[in-house]
Amino acid sequence: MGRATLANIKGKGFSELAKEVKTISEDTNKVSNTNKNRNTTSSDSSGKKNRRRTRKMMMPTAVVVSPVQRLYDTCKDVFALSGTGIVPNRDKIEQLRAVLDKILPEDVGVTPKMPFFKRQVTQPAPTITYLHILQCEKFSMGIFCLPPSGVIPLHNHPGMTVFSKLLFGTVHIKSYDWVVDVPPNASVVVNPSQTVQHPEVRLAEVKVDSYFTAPCNTSILYPADGGNMHCFTAVTACAVLDVLGPPYSDPDGRHCTYYLDYPFTKFSVDGVTVPEEEKDKHAWLQERENLEDLVVDGAPYTGPEIVEN
């Protein structure tokens, strides 16, 4: 703007030019200062934009952790000192329970529409499907898929802490703990004509005998209490996410044993008495080997990938 004005006064008299030049010079200085201010403002604005852009580029991208990855990470922490008979402290137990309580079927790639949840009418025992997620020395993760009427027979978890999360469906759970004050070497009388000096049955107390429908709280059992021996019976198709710490291991003495249960009144044991009102809360358990009523198939886990770290 200043230069254009100066160009317009060429050829005029000196006196007039001097006056105009003075005026133009003042105007030019004003314009120059204005341009400087504009340049400064523009520079500041550009700098702020660049700084904002730089900050955005420098800000770390948020990492989305899948629920099953969070479960793995929590298990790794909770069972860091895992071993036979070692129970995590209460805070750790609650930490893992809270994570499991939030797990949904879709978080582990399970839906009731999967073929192994269909009702089976041609087989004597409905087939149970096991989806193996992960196992390490400290813990294991897997999903039991039960069609309607599917049964996981009564079995134990020696020296283990177990979390069971019902993902969907309705299941009946019955669990026991051993009664520890039974006299040793007591004779078991099945009927008046039969006495067994080395009994194959052992007295247990009922801890849980209830129906559960998802969504519900995660169930927890411990090495010596909480219903270490349990049986699952599917009322509807259902899926159970199991976390075991530590996992089964024959070399480490953690062998899975199956049992039959009998009413307390079926046997009479020397020195063992139970109040009449407590008899239905006790049962005799007998180890079993023939599992004709249990058929388990394995299937691949198709849920989100877990990064082991």
Q: Is 117 in contact with 145 (CB distance < 8 Å)?
A: yes
* 309 domain residue, yes or no: no
Residues 205 and 82 in one domain: yes
Question: Taking residues 93-113, what's their average pLDDT?
Answer: 98
Model confidence at 32: pLDDT above 90: no
Model confidence at 65: pLDDT above 80: yes
Residues 156 and 232 in one domain: yes
Residues 39 and 182 in one domain: no
Where does the pLDDT of residue 200 fall: very low under 50, low under 70, confident under 90, or very high at 90 and above? confident
Work out how many domains the chain is built from and give that number: 2
Q: Estimate the share of the chain in helix, then strand, then coil, as percent rounded to the nearest 5.
A: 30, 30, 40
Q: What is the pLDDT of residue 44?
A: 57
pLDDT mean across residues, the chain = 82
Q: What are 222-250's pLDDT values in tens digits?
A: 999 999 999 999 999 999 999 999 999 99
- Position with higher pLDDT, 109 vs 59: 109
Q: What is the pLDDT of residue 14?
A: 30
- Position with higher pLDDT, 78 vs 37: 78
CATH code for the domain in which residue 241 is found: 2.60.120.10
Residues 28 and 173 in one domain: no
Name the DSSP class of 182.
P
Residue whose token pair is 């390490």 = 136
Residues 138 and 196 in one domain: yes
Q: What is the pLDDT of residue 276?
A: 86
Model confidence at 184: pLDDT above 80: no
| Structural domain of 75 | 68-300
Of the listed ranges 68-77, 174-183, 222-231, the one predicted with least confidence: 174-183
Question: Taking residues 117-142, what's their average pLDDT?
Answer: 93
Residues 126 and 156 in one domain: yes
Residues 87 and 41 in one domain: no
